[in-house]
Amino acid sequence: MRSIRVLLVILATIVPSQLLADEKPAVMVGGKFEVEATLDIAYYEGKDADAKKHKLNLYVPKGHKDFPVLFFIHGGAWTSGDRALYGSVGSVFAKNGIGTVVISYRLSPGIQHPEHIRDVARALPGRTRTSANTAARRIRSSSPVSQPVATSRHCSRPTRRTLTYLKAENLTLKDIKGALPISGIYTFAPGRMERVIGKGEEAAKSASPVQHVSGKEPPFLILYVKNDFPGCGKMSVDLCNALKEKKVEADIKEIDDRNHITIMLYLMLSEADPTTQAMLGFIAKHAGLKLKPRDAKIDK
């Protein structure tokens, strides 16, 4: 009987670890492209243009054509942050065959909602855009048939409220193939973040994406972490449910072993990160990216 017990203990310690190794998913990639970066491209050149913030950085897979475009909007509670901090986002995704636009936008307290969203709409490189800004021309010349997938850490989600600002730039929600919000705020309470959204109940409602779901939105993949700021998980679930109620394709994914800061840090460092893998899978599904296991032979 003792020998049987010993054997069972050995199996209990060895077999599960083997199974876990076998079940570990392959890292999927879109290529091993050399990255070509073009920095500080002006996307708005009006009389009131901000010389520092109305600019974007563009990262493309060198020599590749007709690639999907990822449009990245940085976080920072609408009061801090800049495109210069997120060059690694551009590099990781461009390496995988995805043109990546990393924008700056004006910040509070210099401006209030909805001016942040107006800047985002100005920077979008949609196919139907008639504006002759340098950024739109540069992106379309590399990827003439691709519409962007937008990823954001704040409330600039492609919902009905955003449509007003898209129309001003000759764009519609159809010019966005998908949305990848990451650990964002989707519901504002009156009396909070007033220097960003303004005062009162109407200001809070206007800035809350969950209040503006119309049913015309592109597909969503909402990403968040368990160890996020209070309420983020619930807001993520609420936004996902609001989208589904309007028959919008929406999914949600909680990323393990990350917090509000490290979810961004690790996705910038490695294509093998679970957040990056989820984003690559979403772009493959909705924007035509072709993925292969990282260890497979990949045509550059």
In this prediction, residue 226 carries a pLDDT of 86
Can you give the pLDDT at residue 164? 65
Average pLDDT of span 133-162: 54
pLDDT band at 284 (very low <50, low <70, confident <90, very high): very high
**C-alpha span between 288 and 6 (Å, rounded):** 53
Residue 4, pLDDT score = 38
Mean pLDDT of the chain: 83
Residue 283 has pLDDT above 50, yes or no: yes
Confidence of residue 140 (pLDDT cuts 50, 70, 90): low
Q: What percent of the chain stands above pLDDT 90?
A: 67
Residue with tokens 């990822």: 70
* Cα(111)–Cα(196) distance, integer angstroms: 7
pLDDT value for 167 = 73
pLDDT given at position 131: 40
**CATH class for domain 2-293?**
alpha beta
Lowest model confidence (mean pLDDT) among 23-32, 217-226, 242-251, 284-293: 23-32
Cis amide prior to 109 (ω within 30 degrees): yes
Domains of the chain: which residue ranges? 2-293
Give the separation between CA 112 and CA 107, rounded to whole angstroms.
8
Cβ atoms 68, 283 nearer than 8 A? yes
Per-residue pLDDT band at 134 (split at 50, 70, 90): low
- What the block records as the tokens of 134 is 């340098």
Residue of higher predicted confidence among 64 and 8? 64
Per-residue confidence (pLDDT) for residue 176, from 0 to 100: 87
277 sits in which H/E element: helix 274-287
Give tens-digit pLDDT for 211-259. 999 999 999 999 999 889 889 999 999 999 999 999 999 999 999 999 9
| 13 burial level (CB within 10 Å; 0-12, 13-18, 19+) | exposed
Instruction: Give the integer Cα–Cα distance in Å for 98 and 289.
Output: 8
Q: Is the pLDDT of residue 127 over 50?
A: no
The answer on pLDDT for 11 being more than 70 is no
Percent of the residues in the chain that have a pLDDT greater than 70, as a whole number: 78
Q: Which residues of 17-50 are buried (b: 16+ CB within 10 A; e: fewer)?
A: eeeeeeeeeebbbbbebebeeeeebebbeeeeeb
Higher per-residue confidence, 16 vs 87 = 87
pTM, entire model: 0.84
Q: What tens digit of pLDDT does each residue of 58-96 get? A: 999 999 988 999 999 999 999 999 999 999 999 999 999
Peptide bond into 181 cis (omega under 30): no
Bridging pattern class, strands 35-42 and 55-61: antiparallel
pLDDT of residue 145: 39
Q: Do residues 101 and 38 make contact, with C-beta atoms less than 8 angstroms apart?
A: no
State pLDDT tens for residues 101-122.
Answer: 999 999 999 999 999 999 998 9
Looking at residue 174, its pLDDT comes to 79
Instruction: Look at residues 155, 265, 279 and name the one whose alpha carbon lies nearest to residue 223.
Output: 279
The stretch 199-220 carries a mean pLDDT of 93
Of the ranges 43-47, 49-53, 212-216, the best mean pLDDT one? 49-53
